[in-house]
Chains A and B, each alone.
Chain A
Amino acid sequence: MESISYLWLIPLFPLLSFIIIVFLTRGLPKLSSIVCILSIFASFLVSVWALWSLIAALTGAHPSPEAMHHELTITWFTTGGVTVPLGLILDPLTAMMLFVVTTVSLLVQIYSTGYMAGDPGYSRYFAFMSLFTMSMLGLVLANNFVQLYITWELVGLCSYLLIGFWFQKPEAASAAKKAFVTTRLGDLGFLIGILILYFNTGSFVFADIEAGIKAGAIGGGVLTLAAVFVFCGAIGKSAQFPLHVWLPDAMEGPTPVSALIHAATMVAAGVYMVARAVNIFSAAPDSLVVVAYVGGFTAILAATMGIVMTDIKKVMAYSTISQLGYMMMALGVGAWGAGVFHLFTHAFFKALLFLGSGSVIHSVNNQDMRNMGGLGKHMKITMTTMLIASLALAGFPGFSGFWSKDEILAGAFNKDMLLFSVGLLGAFITAFYIFRAMFLTFFGEYRGQTAVAMADGGHHDSHRSDSHGSHGPHESPLAMTIPLMLLAIPALLAGFLGSPFTNNVFGTFISGGEHHAEEINYTVMAISSAVGVAGIFLAWLIYGVKAISADAIREAVSPIHALVVNKYYLDDLYLWIINAIVLGLSRAWLWFDLNIVDGVVNGIATLVGAFGGGLRRVETGRVPNYGLAIFVGTIVIAGWLVLSGSTP
């Protein structure tokens, strides 16, 4: 088994990029972007090498499960009986994630050179992006919970820094804070879970914990509890219910950030973590039920909210939450390969959807779909690539999302009919909302203004007092359209890796060579395709040819519509809870601190002062008084000495 220590290079390159940009090229924006892109390209090459080495092991002369799984652990430090490890892992899951992260990151950075051009914080942007890429790569390479947790928090930090990139805008600053605090809440549960596992099995390393579980060191209720706590971290990071509220607000950040972090990679970290720890979860079947139902509920909840959004990025955000729910549901019903495959395909088509949205926003300087329309005439490349991604998302037969979502639904069909129906309904709604967005944006007549002054159509990334807002919608520069075209390729084709046409080579690879192509459930495939097409058809009826009036429907279900548009009042509920409980407690403590603690301290001071005030009257300044005092003192001392018999 050859050494895998070269894998350290993968997160090292972006780290060097971060350091160089921060210390050296801060004032040279173009150079910063080149440094960042080169570093990620270098990581990409090493990742491809690692992936290739695994593929070679699989298809080579002596394939074996051991050859597909390499680990390297060193002890970072030991303190008080606790050994903190550092390690690397290389197995199909990690190799796939490395490939996805480096590819999408590379394309997003190239795109960003076009999107962020002219922004005063250009270098800072690429510095943070480098830091993020380093953290994410470190996360997927971690073979123990300590390293995972550290990089987990680091990606959360980078998310905060990048959401709040235009921090002068109050909404962006508070969105960043909201993201950080919400994920932190999940991370609290995560830490508790890690500690429970540590204290029962004595190690942070995944392999040791799994061995401990097999040996019975931890089981039953305690293991379920630990697994559920660990899942809390994924709930926060992957924006599942009830901690999904930060992701739509995170759209305040630049669109490439949304594409990279909040679509393809960081939010997928939660799914990755559950996939990595699947043996822990499997040993506690109740925890898998929790995972599946949280995922399923989130999927349908977010899909319903995606229908009513008018901001194009918000539609994508809720779509991401919903698709992450699908992945969790897959992992929960035991369709591990399906969940991971969906993560793979989703990364590409969702990143494409976001980058395409960014292209649209860049073109019309507006994020509100009510002000768009008819853009397909002017932005052919963007429209074509986004349509490909939408068809993938909707699960149209043949496109990548179809194969992955179909596998998930098949897995749910075999396990739990309730989840299957939820998934099916969600698929219908997904197809509907994404094509609603497409029809509103690219077809029909242009509803916006061509002048620079924009109507108050929601908030938009105000990243430029635009120089080219004076002409109408136009196609974006090459730096932005090339990544779109490059991403359309996997959005179209990546699904075939998991299809029967290739004997599900993805599934075989990801499970280390053990997987056998399973029988295709043609019923499920037919139903899900029909449902997807139905959703697209309905969207075409309402928004394409306007055969049914959207306004009429909205009027008819206005109370439900109000409920959904207000995000089921969840944000208001959380705000109320925070105000009542957190702020209420803090007000109580403030009263305590000001009145009691300060009261005691000030009281002691006042007391001492009073004593002093009384005692100073001894100093009369008159010598005879002092003489009397001396005399009396002498008498006292002499008398004491005599009476105590010290004098002979």
Chain B
Amino acid sequence: MLSINHFLFLGAILFCIGLYGALSKRNAVAILMGIELMFNGVNITLVSFSRFLSPATTIGQIFAIFIITVAAAEAAVGLAIVLAIYRSRRTISVENIDLMKW
């Protein structure tokens, strides 16, 4: 009934939405949210591969748990950076954070 393709599509859609958000949002926090979405998409893809191709070994699921952990740490660090930027620049719009511009 439900084949791997359904889950892969879901993962891909989630990834693309997250990518779109990470690339086009002005708000730094929104970009971080998009990145989180990308993580989720990847997780679903991993788990579905593991479930459908080799269900005995649960490699994909274990990998997904690692990713969740790292994502959490990365979100913490990312938000800390956003906070620091806000404190010095009073803005978190990435359009205005372009000191490295030519």
Residues of A within 8 A of B (CB): 616-617, 619-624, 627-628, 631
Bound: A405/B6 CA distance, A: 126
A sample of 5 more A-B contacts (CB under 8 A), given A622-B94, A631-B23, is A617-B102, A620-B102, A621-B100, A622-B101, A627-B22
Main secondary structure of the interface of B (DSSP, over half): loop
Q: Are A622 and B98 in contact (CB under 8 A)?
A: yes
Q: In this assembly, does B99 line the interface, its C-beta being within 8 Å of a C-beta of chain A? A: yes
Q: Are A622 and B23 in contact (CB under 8 A)?
A: no
Q: Are A624 and B100 in contact (CB under 8 A)?
A: no
Minimum CB–CB distance for B65 against chain A, Å: 25
10 pairs of A and B residues whose beta carbons are closest in the complex? A621-B101, A621-B98, A621-B100, A616-B102, A619-B102, A622-B98, A628-B23, A624-B23, A627-B23, A623-B94
Bound: A622/B99 CA distance, A: 8
Q: In this assembly, does B24 line the interface, its C-beta being within 8 Å of a C-beta of chain A? A: yes
- Residues in B with CB closer than 8 Å to A619 are 100-102
Bound: A493/B100 CA distance, A: 99
Q: Are B95 and A622 in contact (CB under 8 A)?
A: yes
Q: Interface 1/0s, chain B 23-67, versus A by CB < 8 A?
A: 111000001000000000000000000000000000000000000
- Residues in B with CB closer than 8 Å to A620 are 98, 101-102
Residues of B within 8 A of A (CB): 19, 22-25, 31, 94-95, 97-102
Bound: A623/B22 CA distance, A: 10
Main secondary structure of the interface of A (DSSP, over half): helix
Minimum CB–CB distance for A98 against chain B, Å: 81
Minimum CB–CB distance for B84 against chain A, Å: 15
Minimum CB–CB distance for B59 against chain A, Å: 19
- Measured CB to CB, the nearest residue on chain B to A619 is B102
**Contact among B23, B25, B99 with A621 in the assembled complex (CB-CB below 8 Å):** B99
Bound: A631/B94 CA distance, A: 18
- Measured CB to CB, the nearest residue on chain B to A618 is B102
- Measured CB to CB, the nearest residue on chain B to A620 is B101
Q: Are B97 and A623 in contact (CB under 8 A)?
A: yes
- Residues in A with CB closer than 8 Å to B19 are 631
Q: Are A624 and B102 in contact (CB under 8 A)?
A: no
- Residues in B with CB closer than 8 Å to A617 are 102
Minimum CB–CB distance for B18 against chain A, Å: 12
Q: Are A624 and B101 in contact (CB under 8 A)?
A: no
Minimum CB–CB distance for A608 against chain B, Å: 16
Most B-side CB within 10 Å, residue of A620, A623, A628: A623
22 residue pairs bridging A and B, Cβ less than 8 Å apart: A617-B102, A619-B101, A619-B102, A620-B98, A621-B97, A621-B98, A621-B99, A621-B100, A621-B101, A622-B95, A622-B97, A622-B98, A622-B101, A623-B31, A623-B94, A623-B97, A624-B22, A624-B24, A624-B25, A627-B22, A627-B23, A631-B23
